[in-house]
Amino acid sequence: MHRQKQGMIIEITDQDFGREVMQCKLPVFVYFVAPWCHTCYPTRLFAEELAEEYYGRVKLVKIDIEESPEVAERYHVIAVPTVLLFRDSQEVKRLLGFQDRRSLRSLLNGATAEEGMLIEGTVAESRRI
């Protein structure tokens, strides 16, 4: 089992995907890469910078499509880099190609804002009962 260290993106495989992404209670940022991908590296650097800020609110994972092609095929990842955001085991957002810090921050802010609204809604609903 992989544990996300504070401020780190963890590498997962096809075999880890169910446990690390589909069963995770947090929103999950899934970053698909390949060793030959030149635009993957700067996007990864921006994501790693943001990993510290969002630690504990969003789980960040990376999948190499050459080492783990099954998940990439299942989610129709045809270009790298590709970022998928999952919530409650469902894909909710997809970003294709190079992403700068601003677009990644926007994605993560949206994920944490929606998560906050869900939590507040649950608390509000439970108070009414």
Pick the catalytic residue: 9, 12, 30, 40? Answer: 40
- The residues, any chain, with a CB within 8 Å of residue 56's CB and separated by 6 or more, are 26
Question: Does 40 participate in catalysis according to the annotation?
Answer: yes
Pick the catalytic residue: 24, 30, 37, 47? Answer: 37
* DSSP helix/strand/coil, 33: strand
Question: Does 24 participate in catalysis according to the annotation?
Answer: no
Answer for the pair 83, 31: CB distance below 8 angstroms, yes or no: yes
- The residues, any chain, with a CB within 8 Å of residue 17's CB and separated by 6 or more, are 63, 68, 71
Catalytic residues: 37, 40
